[in-house]
Every structure is written in C-alpha cells, then in structure tokens.
Amino acid sequence: MMIFRFRMVAVLFGLMAGLLWTGSLLAQEPVTDNDVNDVAKDLFCPVCENVPLDVCPTQACADWREVIRGQLAEGQSKRQIIDYFALQYGDRVRAKPAQQGFSLAVWLLPVLAVFAGAFYFSRYLRGLKQNTAVVAPVKTVKPVANANRPVTEEYLARVEEELKKLK
Amino acid sequence: MLPDFGYATLVVAFLLAIYASVAAFYGGRQKDHRWVESSRNAIVAILPLVTLACVLLIYALVKGDFSIDYVARVSSRAMPTYLKVTALWGGQAGSLLFWNFLLAVFTSAAMLRQWDRQRPLMPYVLAVSAITQVFFLFISIFVENPFTRLAIIPLDGQGLNPLLRHPGMIIHPPLLYLGFTGLTIPYAFAMAALISGKLDDGWIRATRRWTLVAWLFLSLGLILGGRWAYDVLGWGGYWAWDPVENASFMPWLAATAFLHSVMIQEKRGMFRMWNMFLIILTYLLMILGTFIVRSGVISSVHSFAQSAIGPLFFGFVTLMLLFSLYWMTRRWNELSSKNQLESFLSREAAFLLNNFLILAILFATFWGTVFPILSELFMDEKMTVGAPFYEQVNGPLFAALLLLMGVAPLTMWYRSSAKRIGMQTRWPALAALIFVGVLFAFFEVRSWGALLGLWIVALAAILTVLEFWRGTQARMKHGETAWTAFSNLMARDRRRYGGYWIHLGVVVMAFGIIGTEFFQQETQIRLSRGESVSVGNYSMTFNGIRRYAGADDLLITEAEVSAFYNGRLVKNLRPRTELYTRTGQPMTIPAARSTISDDFYVLLINWEETSVNSAVFRIYVNPLINWVWFGTVIFTLGTMVAIWPDPASQTSVAAVRPRRPSLAAGD
C-alpha cells in the first residue's frame, strides 16, 4: 500500500513537472518585430554611418536583425546581445557609449564642464555683488528708482514718450 | 571649351581675392584710401566672375555635358530640368562653388551698403572677408575643381543621389549655406573693429541685421533638414543628433548666444570682449561645420587623410583661430568693460545666464561630435555617440533655457526686485500648474519629465503672451483701439517684440518636441491582406500592394492601407519603398495622416514577391509633431519683424549712432 501510494505521488509529481515543462514551452511567445527593434534601437548599423540598426534599410541590417531575433529566441537578454555585437563589430555599434573606461569621458566631461562653468559664473556674480556694495550709491540711475513701480507705468512712460515724438 | 572657360573665371576671381585682401590691409595700415577703394572694386568684380562660373556649370548640367566629371556624377539625361539645376549643390565640388557664390553675394552687398557708414572699419572688413573667399576659391581651384574633365566621356551620368531628390533637400542646403556665409560678415566687422582699434559699438550696430538674416537662414536650414529627414529618411523622427546635423547646429547656438549678449553691450557697454569671443566662435564653428560635413572626417579619421580638403580646412580653422586670438589679446585692455553688473537679478545677468546655458549645450554637442574622432585617434577604436547621450545631457539644459526664456523678459536693466518678479510669475506659474494638473488627471500623462517640461512650456507661453498683453493695454489707455495698440506696439519696437514672437515660436516648437520625445508610440508587424493592427487610438488595415516601374531606373513598391481613428475611417495611405535598381539604393517613403494632435505615420518595411499576401509595416504615432512645423512659421515671422528696417533709419546715416537710452524694461 505504502509503495503504491509512493508511486502514485511520484507519478503525480512527474506529471506535474512534465506539464509545467511543456507549459513553459508553449507559453514562450514567438519573438516579435517589436522585441527585435527594442534591442536594435540601442545598436548602430556596423557598416553604415550613424544609422541606428532598427531603422537601417539595407539588407545587411535586415540580416543582423534576424541574428537578434535568433538570440532572443534562445533566451538571451538585451544586454548579452548588445555585448555580443560589440565584441563582433567593435564598440562603435553601441548607441550609448559604455559608461566605463575611456568612453566614460564622453559622459563625464560635459557634466564637469557645466559644474565648472556654474561655479565660475556664480563666483563672478558674487564678486560683482561685493563690488557694487561699494559702488552702488554712485550708480543710482532712474531705473533703480523705478524698480518697484508696477510694470504698466514703465510702459505708460514709454508710450507717452513716443506719443510726444509723434506730435 | 566650356570647362576651360569656367576654370579660368575661377582663377581670375581667386587672384582678385588675393589682391583684394592684400590691398585692403595695406591701404588700411597706410591710411591710403586709394588702395582700399581698389580692393573694394576687386571684391565687387569677384561676384560676377563666380556667378559666371555657376551659370556655366548649370549650363553644363542642364545640357548634359558628361565630359565634366562633376556633371557625370550628379546629373543624368533622364533627370527633370529643375533637378539638373539644383544638382549644382548636389555634390562636393558644386557645393563649394555655390558656397563661393553666396559668400561673394554677401560680401558685395555688405560692402555696398555699409561703405559710407563704416568707413574706418572697411579696409579690414574687406581684408577678412576676402581672406575667407581666397580660401574657398583655393579649394575650388586646386582640390575640388567642379570643371575637372573626364578622359573617357560616359554616355550618361550617374544622376543625383535619390535621397537628394526631394523638395526639402533642394532648399535645405542653400539655406544652410546662406546662413554659414552670412555669418562671415559680422565676423569680418568684428575683426575690423579689433584691427582698426575702433572698438565702440559701431560694428555691432552695422552688423545686427546681417547677423539676424544669416541666423534666420541657418534656423530655416536646420528645420527644413529636419522636415526632409521626417519625410524621406523614414525613421519616424526629424532630428537624430547626427554629426552632420550637429555641425550646423553648433554655429547656430553660438550665433544665438551672440544675438542675445550684444544687447548688453548696446545697452550698458559691457561684455565687449565676450561679444568678440562669441562672434569669433561662431565663425570658427561655421568653418569647422563646413569642414566636418565636407571632409569625411566623420566617417573615419582615415578617410579624412585621403582627400586634401580635410587637412586644408583644418589648417584654415587653426589659422583663423590664431589670427583672431592674436588681435583679441592685443586689444584686451581696451576692451575691458567700463561698467559693471549691479545685481544678478537684472536683465544683464539674465542674458549672461542665457549665454552660459547655450554654451553648455554647445560644449556637450561639440564634445559628443568630436569624441568619435578622438577615440579613433587615441584608442584606435571608433565610438559612436548616439542620440541618447545628447538627450540625457542637453535635455535638462534646454529645459532650463526655456524657463529662463519665459522669466528673463520680466527682469529690468541694472537691477530688479525679486518681489516684483515673484508677483508677476505667481499667477502664471499657478495657471501652468493647473494646465499640467489637467493633463495628469484627464489625459493620463504620467511621466514626470514630461510634466515638468510641459509646465515650463506653459509658463513660458503665458509669460510671453502677457508681454504683448501688457504693452497693448498700456497703449489702449491712451485711446488706441486694441488692434492699433497691438500693431503700433510692434511697429515701435520691432526688435523687442520680434524677439518675443521668436520666443513664442520656440515655445510652440518645444511643445511639439516634448510630445514626440515622450509620447511617441511605435510598432512593427507583419500583416496579411485584410488584417488589422491598432496603435493607440488608431488602427490600420492592410488592403493591398503593387509593384511598378517608376521614372528612370526606379522600382516602386506601394502598399495601400486604411487608417482608422477610434474605429472611423480617416484616410487611405500609400506608404512605399523605392529602389534605384542601378545603384541598389533603397528608400522608404512614409505616408502620414497629419492632424494638430498627432501624425499617424506608416512605413512599408518589407515585402517579397513570394509572400504576395503579407507585408511588414512600421507604424508610429507622433503626438503634437505638427506643432514643431507650426512653431517654425511663428519663429520665422518673428525674425522678419525683428529684421524689418525702421523707416527712419533707412534714409539717415545718423541712425548708426547710439540711440537715446530708454527707461523701459528691455530692448
């Protein structure tokens, strides 16, 4: 009895595992063009100049997209496929330069430049503010006096001036 | 016979240009006006000579004189006449000849118009523009001679590259070249101011309109290039941050910074050195842009060395850089500012911030464009810097620039109070927030980047419209009717309100750009006849396909599909592919249904005769894209308003003198 029951359980488990396995096979949907394009978007055509792989109309690129389709069907990830292409055709096929090694420079330099520029710019302005604290009284020109008047009055002043000229 | 004659006219023009530059410089130094006038006559004689060369080449193109190498390359018997004419700029040698022609037009025009007004500057204006002309004529004569003959005369030419047989591509290069060559004029005046030591604002006032005209052409050239890409290249977009695009975008950025910062100099006499720097940068980037496009350096450093044109351009850029730097350092002390910034809540500081942001975008773009060249030089491995880099780095900078564009007109010269700016932006900011809230609640906009961008766009739009509103209101208080008040407002200060129109155009374009950047939908699918697919609110049914021979060697495959919007048939579309069988070059021509809210854009990707009943389509829904083109129209009209000459200043020479300082919030 015990043995029979054990067999039953084993068979049941076996059946379940088998079902799961075939189920997973059936559930695996065919790779769509959109899946392929999603990977191809981040690659550049290895032969044309600056054409993303997903939109390149040449036959060579159509073949490369089929390679991607095949690799996706094998279950490879986007990253693996991009790395494969970079290995085969060089780093130039990456649409986004890798954020490591020499190509890290392409990302870092603009950021550094913006910060350096912002730093210089703010120092320049601050320096001026200290200067003008001393100079300001001499420079009291009309617009400063106007500063707090509502803007329409300035427009009125200008309009009046222009009307005067017309006469 | 004809090629010899054409070549001879170029050689004579070249010799005249050399003479003009030397004579003008000598005359300027010796204060001998006879030399300068002789130089002017030489410059004015170059124009008809170069024009003649262009006419001869066009004649050869139309007649189909295939003994000329250039004609055999870009023309063919079967091409329609208008394409034969525009083939003048369809290839390298012809483009450079055309460049020479446009430069001669601009130089002569500037010369004749400014001759009496800016006499002390003229010798060096002549010298500098003549040097530029010498360089380009040199290339046309010794490196890229458009009149080179073939030993064996072919029966027919190869014809124009099919990608270039599009109206957008026919107008786009001349506009870019007009922009490029036009920027030579303000540079020549700036250098003349440096060399002659006449460092007042004369050169800026004399060239303001030239710069604006050149800038408008450059802007239109860039946008039409985008339109061409959208209509012909078949990838669903209009701007890809391609190195060639960047090459023309960089001088545009520098010129935009210059157009803004000159206002500080005119108003406050400050940043004179900075403006010199900006116009020099613009000129160098313009030459560099021509170099990048023309030398082949982008495809590879190695192809750069194959043609002599690359090293020559590189040499010329270096030469002009050193020349400009030398004169800038010589005048360094004389150029230092008389005045100082008083507050960083002022119009001056706002312009400076604008310059900072634009130069940051310029730097990132420059770096991304030259990085592949550097990596190939130093790492022996070519890299690609694609659109994602530019979008991530430049996107936030553009957003900041847009915000500044909205707020900056509220600042006043010298200083303004934070309180007042706060009062003036409070309600618009709230209104913009409500707008974004509506988008969030009812239109399911969930991307934070897009919401922030749209908030900035709405705020900038409201603030810009309010500028017009306030001005009109103020005039109406003096008894003018609404329309008179509005039109007088612009007539009185074309430059200022033209500028605001341009801002409004930019805001509208930004709205469209955010729409397509963040909400583009796409799918690619194989459909059998009668099958449908849906994308967003649209669906599409594939009705049929046919293949037929077109003009020349063209093989056209055209699909017919029906586009439905919310289940209702809106348009039958015919996307097609064209194959130029002789060269094997494929083209994918999209078909689109355009509305104010979006484009339904279909590409026929693939169809084989073996699979009669099914074809592969790529479908894009591009939201708000037509706002980009619509914004361009506003932008252009605004620039025209700003360029339009004042009736008063047209007749009198005195108008060149500084105008009376105004108390208004800006100019």
- Most B CBs within 10 Å, among A111, A122, A155, to test the B interface: A155
Q: H-helix or E-strand containing B524?
A: strand B521-528
**Quick one: DSSP state of residue B661?**
P
Tally of CB atoms within 10 A around A116: 10
27-46 in chain A: CB under 8 A from chain B: 32-34, 36-37, 42, 44
Q: Crossing angle of helices B418-442/B448-476, nearest 10°?
A: 130
Say whether A91 and B606 touch across the interface (CB within 8 A).
no
How far is Cα B364 from Cα B398, in angstroms, rounded to an integer? 12
> Tokens 């001026």 correspond to what residue?
A128
In this structure, what token pair is assigned to residue B154? 């072919």
How far is Cα A69 from Cα B527, in angstroms, rounded to an integer? 18
Q: Which residue of A has its CA nearest to B345?
A: A125
In this structure, what token pair is assigned to residue B299? 């495809």
Distance from CA of B29 to the nearest CA of A (A): 38
Say whether A121 and B353 touch across the interface (CB within 8 A).
yes
Tally of CB atoms within 10 A around A21: 10
Say whether A132 and B341 touch across the interface (CB within 8 A).
yes
Nearest to B631 by CA among B487, B464, B382, B481: B464
Q: Which residues from B are below 8 Å from A94, CB to CB?
A: 383-384, 386
Burial class (CB in 10 A: 0-12, 13-18, 19+), B475: buried
Please tell me which of the candidates B342, B384, B577 has its beta carbon nearest to residue A132: B342
Q: Which residues from A are below 8 Å from B368, CB to CB?
A: 106, 110
Regarding predicted confidence, which is higher, B445 or A28?
A: B445
Strands (E), B213-360: none
Q: H-helix or E-strand containing B251?
A: helix B243-268
Q: Mean pLDDT over all residues of chain A?
A: 71
Burial class (CB in 10 A: 0-12, 13-18, 19+), B458: buried
Q: Which residue of A has its CA nearest to B387?
A: A95
Average the pLDDT over B25-36 and give the result: 90
Q: What is the 3-state secondary structure (H, E, C) of chain A?
A: CHHHHHHHHHHHHHHHHHHHHHHHHHHCCCCCHHHHHHHHCCEECCCCCCCECCCCCCHHHHHHHHHHHHHHHCCCCHHHHHHHHHHHHCHHHECCCCCCHHHHHHHHHHHHHHHHHHHHHHHHHHHHHHHHHHHHHHHCCHHHHHCCCCHHHHHHHHHHHHHHHHC
φ/ψ (deg, to 5) at B268: -120, -5
Say whether A132 and B234 touch across the interface (CB within 8 A).
no
Q: Is the CB of residue A47 less than 8 Å away from at least one CB of chain B?
A: no
In this structure, what token pair is assigned to residue B234? 């078949």
pLDDT band at A157 (very low <50, low <70, confident <90, very high): low
What per-residue confidence (pLDDT) applies to A7? 61
* Residue B267 C-alpha from the chain's centroid: 28
What pLDDT, in 10s, does the model give residues B524-577? 888 988 899 999 899 999 998 888 888 777 889 999 999 999 989 999 999 998
Say whether B356 and A121 touch across the interface (CB within 8 A).
yes
Q: Between the ranges B136-150, B195-209, B337-351, B609-623, where is the mean pLDDT highest? A: B136-150
B306 residue type, one letter: Q
Cβ–Cβ < 8 Å for B252, B215:
yes
Q: Mean pLDDT over all residues of chain B?
A: 86
Strands (E), B529-590: 532-535, 538-549, 554-565, 568-573, 576-580, 585-589
Complex ipTM above 0.85? no
In this structure, what token pair is assigned to residue B260? 């803004």
93-152 in chain A: CB under 8 A from chain B: 93-97, 102-103, 105-107, 109-111, 113-114, 117-118, 121, 125, 128-129, 131-132, 135-136, 139, 141-144, 146-148, 151-152
Say whether B382 and A114 touch across the interface (CB within 8 A).
no
Nearest to A47 by CA among B320, B511, B299: B299
How far is Cα B653 from Cα B113, in angstroms, rounded to an integer? 11
Q: Which residues from A are below 8 Å from B360, CB to CB?
A: 110, 113-114, 117
Burial class (CB in 10 A: 0-12, 13-18, 19+), A19: exposed
What pLDDT, in 10s, does the model give residues B477-507? 888 888 888 888 888 888 889 999 999 999 9
B447 residue type, one letter: S
Distance from CA of B521 to the nearest CA of A (A): 11
Distance from CA of B57 to the nearest CA of A (A): 30
Distance from CA of B111 to the nearest CA of A (A): 33
Q: Is the CB of residue A159 less than 8 Å away from at least one CB of chain B?
A: yes
Cα separations in angstroms, B540 against B524, B557, B560, B589, B598: 12, 19, 10, 17, 15
- Most A CBs within 10 Å, among B271, B351, B366, B383, to test the A interface: B383
Weakest mean pLDDT among A27-41, B136-150, B392-406: A27-41
Q: Which residues from A are below 8 Å from B477, CB to CB?
A: 156, 159
What pLDDT, in 10s, does the model give residues B104-115? 999 998 888 877
Weakest mean pLDDT among A148-162, B17-31, B612-626: A148-162
Say whether A52 and B386 touch across the interface (CB within 8 A).
yes
Please tell me which of the candidates B236, B243, B474 has its beta carbon nearest to residue A159: B474
Say whether A148 and B417 touch across the interface (CB within 8 A).
yes
- Most A CBs within 10 Å, among B351, B363, B384, to test the A interface: B384
* Residue A45 C-alpha from the chain's centroid: 19
Q: What is the 3-state secondary structure (H, E, C) of B588-631?
A: EECEEEECCCEEEEEEEEECCHHHCCEEEEEEEEEECHHHHHHH
Say whether B420 and A147 touch across the interface (CB within 8 A).
yes
**Quick one: DSSP state of residue B150?**
P
What per-residue confidence (pLDDT) applies to A12? 60
Cβ–Cβ < 8 Å for B104, B46:
yes
Cβ–Cβ < 8 Å for B596, B629:
no
Say whether A131 and B384 touch across the interface (CB within 8 A).
no
Q: Sign of the C-alpha dihedral, residues B561, B566, B567, B570?
A: negative
Q: H-helix or E-strand containing B237?
A: none
Cβ–Cβ < 8 Å for B87, B157:
no
What per-residue confidence (pLDDT) applies to A164? 59
What per-residue confidence (pLDDT) applies to B650? 44
Is the model's pLDDT at B621 over the cut of 80?
yes
Burial class (CB in 10 A: 0-12, 13-18, 19+), A99: exposed
Please tell me which of the candidates B344, B381, B414 has its beta carbon nearest to residue A125: B344
Q: Which residues from A are below 8 Å from B416, CB to CB?
A: 147
Average the pLDDT over A42-47 and give the result: 82
User: Count of A–B CB contacts within 8 Å?
Assistant: 173
Please tell me which of the candidates A109, A159, A162 has its beta carbon nearest to residue B367: A109
What per-residue confidence (pLDDT) applies to A138? 40
pLDDT band at A5 (very low <50, low <70, confident <90, very high): low
Q: Which residues from A are below 8 Å from B236, CB to CB?
A: 55
Tally of CB atoms within 10 A around A6: 10
How far is Cα A23 from Cα B8, in angstroms, rounded to an integer? 81
Q: Say which residues have a Cβ less than 8 Å from residue B90's Cβ, sequence separation at least 6.
A: B74, B160, B161, B164
What pLDDT, in 10s, does the model give residues B650-659? 444 443 444 4
How far is Cα B5 from Cα B147, in angstroms, rounded to an integer? 9
Say whether A125 and B349 touch across the interface (CB within 8 A).
yes
How far is Cα B21 from Cα B128, in angstroms, rounded to an integer? 7
Burial class (CB in 10 A: 0-12, 13-18, 19+), A36: buried
Say whether A158 and B240 touch across the interface (CB within 8 A).
no
Say whether B664 and A146 touch across the interface (CB within 8 A).
no
Say whether A50 and B379 touch across the interface (CB within 8 A).
no
How far is Cα B663 from Cα B482, in angstroms, rounded to an integer? 24
% of chain B with per-residue pLDDT over 70: 93
Cβ–Cβ < 8 Å for A64, A52:
no
Distance from CA of B96 to the nearest CA of A (A): 23
Say whether B478 and A159 touch across the interface (CB within 8 A).
yes
B352 residue type, one letter: L
Tally of CB atoms within 10 A around A79: 10
How far is Cα B237 from Cα B340, in angstroms, rounded to an integer? 45
Say whether A144 and B414 touch across the interface (CB within 8 A).
yes
What per-residue confidence (pLDDT) applies to A131? 56
Is the model's pLDDT at B364 over the cut of 80?
yes
Tally of CB atoms within 10 A around B147: 25
- Most B CBs within 10 Å, among A33, A156, A166, to test the B interface: A33
Q: Which residues from A are below 8 Å from B240, CB to CB?
A: 50, 52
Say whether B664 and A154 touch across the interface (CB within 8 A).
yes
Q: How many helices (H) and strands (E) does chain B have?
A: 22, 10
Average the pLDDT over B357-368 and give the result: 93
